Structure 1
Amino acid sequence: MKFMTGLLTAVLLLAGVATSHAVVRIGEDRGGRIGTYVDKYQDMRSSGEMVIIDGLCASACTIVLGAIPHDKICVTSHASLGFHAAWDFSDDGHAVTNPEATQMLYSMYPSPVKRWIAQRGGLTQRMIFLRGKELESLYHPCFLDARASATR
């Protein structure tokens, strides 16, 4: 019986994969260099991939909100977006806010996200998190898709 259940599940998954578009799952992404994420998301946008945010998407990862069309993004109950000011290292190795990069980052976000950030004091050194009902009011909820096994 276990074999039949497993076989049926595999057949259904394969049937779904053959007729669907590519899906990318983002989870536990703490960000990195802005340029790297801009390039990555431009490639994703060109491919028409659907994006599931299912966990932490922080810092430069949040560029996805401006790079991917709104209707191609959904969020799970585990999604959490973390925003903060962009920074660089100073000559002595300390992190310092980069106002130009912060403005560039902020300009990439859709208007509802910009309003949410502004209501919380803007992009500062302190991380602010958009999640739960607030996030679901801006992006439609999704359910984990078995085809979304790749995390980028």
Structure 2
Amino acid sequence: MKRWMGLVIAALMIAGSRSSDAAVRITDDRGGLIGKYIYKYERLRASGQSVIIDGFCASACTIVLATLPSTRICVTSRAELAFHAAWDIGRRGRAVTNAGATRMMYHMYPAPVRRWIAGRGGLTPRTIFLRGNRLQGMYRSCPT
């Protein structure tokens, strides 16, 4: 019985170490509710996993930059981040900018990202895109 338990514990330890070595790949994430992304990325941070941004990451998806250390994020040449002001659904189903949530998101981002956003007029209802050399200058390239 003791030997069996030891084997189970060893297997769980090995499985746990492998899961922290695995990377999560972002390829086509259009965002969503801020709270869901904060929760998702907090769990990802606790898991020890890294993130490969290998495509479109928009809106709340970009919270990954604020939640994980930059050492656990890499970008490919296909990576493209889209930023805009946070919004709520207002009267008649129209999008209304949420100034408080927009400020919160802006201040969560790392300094290089905040500077880039500020240089483009800040987080507004207009979407701005970070990709190519600018993005690769802020985050390491993914190993091939």
Same fold (TM over 0.5): yes
Q: How does 1:52-131 map to 2 (within 5 A)?
A: 52-131=52-131
**If each structure's strand is expressed as a fraction of its own residues, which one has the higher value?**
2
1:12-65 CA-partner distances (Å, limit 9, x unpaired): xxxxxx698111001110000000000000000000101000000000000000
The aligned counterpart of 2:39 is 39
Task: Map 1:2-41; keep pairs closer than 5 Å.
Answer: 21-41=21-41
Pick the structure with more helix per residue: 2
Give the residue type in structure 2 aligned to 1:78. Answer: R
* Residue pair 2:20, 2:48 contacting (<8 A) in 1 also: no
The answer for unaligned runs of 5 or more in structure 1 is 1-17, 145-152
- CA distance in 2: counterparts of 1:93 and 1:50, whole angstroms: 37
Separation in 2 of the partners of 1:54 and 1:70?
15
Change (3 A) 1:21 1:91: same
Aligned 8 A contact 2:58 2:82 in 1: yes
Superposition misfits of 4+ residues, deviation over 6 angstroms: none
Partner of residue 11, structure 1: none
Provide the C-alpha distance between the structure 1 equivalents of 2:100 and 2:19, rounded to a whole number of angstroms. Answer: 44
Q: How many percent identity over aligned positions?
A: 61
Shift of 1:91: 2.1
Q: CA separation in 2, counterparts of 1:22 and 1:33?
A: 25
Cα separation, partners in 2 of 1:43 and 1:138, compared to 1, 3 Å: same
Counterpart in the other structure of 2:50: 50
User: What CA deviation, in whole Å up to 9, does each residue of 1:72-97 have, x standing for no partner?
Assistant: 00000000000000001112110111
The structure showing larger relative contact order (alpha-carbon pairs under 8 Å, at least 6 residues apart) is: 1
**Amino acid in structure 1 at the alignment position of 2:23:** V
The match for 2:135 is: 135
The total of aligned residue pairs comes to 128
So what's the TM-score if we normalise by structure 1? 0.81
Contact residue 53 and residue 75 of structure 2 kept, 8 A: yes
Q: TM-score, normalised by structure 2?
A: 0.85
In structure 2, the residue corresponding to 1:129 is in which secondary structure? strand
